[in-house]
Amino acid sequence: MSKLSVKEQSGCRKLLKLLPLDDLFALKDTVTNRLIAVESTEEAIEAIITYSQDAEELLKRKKISKCEKSTVVTDEVGDGLSDLPALGKQFCQWFYCLLNSQNPSQGHPAQDWGPQHFWEDVRLQLLLCSGEQRVDEFNGAELVSKRLRALAGEERLLFCPNLEGYGLKCISSAHGLVIVAVAGTIHRDNACLGIFEQVFGLIRSPMDNNRWKIKYVYIKVEAQSAITDRQLPLITYDSKELLRLCK
């Protein structure tokens, strides 16, 4: 019987799902001393959790460290509001690791992307600046999930966020909304295509273990040819503008 609490088990399951299959099964062999045979990802995860003495021991495993244990944002960081920069950084590490894994050029199995990470009424606005501006809007968890996945999967874009200094900004509203804004560069293969600013509105879901889920997404992409006055990817929106984007 696992010695992990129910909350720890939930967080560890989410983390283990991020591992490539080879690493997951190798970790299962290490934790169980090869005593347990499994035939699926789910069985491997349950075996690892069952035979782990505690969460700290599991999180120190080498295979886990490769996957950034800090990405278990939803269960391991308290209410998140006491340290917004830490919450924002952990969320971005999780999100872009997940999104970039959908890019086939990365050569790794795609991780568990899907509408489950979004509120049902999530809204996505996509602003493309390449000489002229174009705005597309998408609504609903299924459609938003597919459009974002297509950026990495079909358009083969790779997002590299700047999580230091002025590349990351986090604020919260009086109603429990956390806004995470991040800037970075966009690449395809070996070419830098431009810079982006992405804004997320996050709200906890009491119906889903109180996890943070994405309510709003705003992406502004500036093509390399349109960048004239700045080179570093920095947040250009102030707090009032960020709140306005998530309404």
* Residues 13, 110 within the same domain: no
Q: Is residue 1 part of a domain?
A: no
Which has more confidence, 89 or 75?
89
CB-based contacts of 45: which residues, under 8 Å, 6+ apart?
A: 13, 16, 17, 24
* Residues 38, 137 within the same domain: no
Which position has the token pair 């795609």?
A: 110
CA separation for the pair 180, 142 (Å, rounded): 22
Instruction: Specify the number of domains making up the chain.
Output: 2
| Whole-angstrom Cα Rg for the chain | 19
User: Which pLDDT value is given to residue 72?
Assistant: 43
* Residues 113, 197 within the same domain: yes
Host domain of residue 125: 76-245
* Residues 62, 80 within the same domain: no
User: Which pLDDT value is given to residue 185?
Assistant: 92
Given 47, 67, 87, the domain boundary residue is: 67
Residue 131 has pLDDT above 50, yes or no: yes
CA separation for the pair 243, 247 (Å, rounded): 7
Indicate the range of 13-17, 58-62, 168-172, 174-178 predicted with least confidence: 58-62
Residue 79 has pLDDT above 60, yes or no: no
Q: Is residue 145 part of a domain?
A: yes
Given 26, 45, 67, the domain boundary residue is: 67
User: Which pLDDT value is given to residue 222?
Assistant: 87
Which position has the token pair 């102030």?
A: 238
* Residues 55, 96 within the same domain: no
Average confidence score pLDDT of the chain: 83
* pLDDT grade for 63, boundaries at 50, 70 and 90: low
Identify the bridge partners of residue 28 per DSSP, sorted by sequence position: none
* Residues 21, 111 within the same domain: no
Which has more confidence, 181 or 72?
181
* Residues 18, 127 within the same domain: no
Q: Is residue 141 part of a domain?
A: yes
CA separation for the pair 111, 18 (Å, rounded): 6
* Residues 11, 112 within the same domain: no
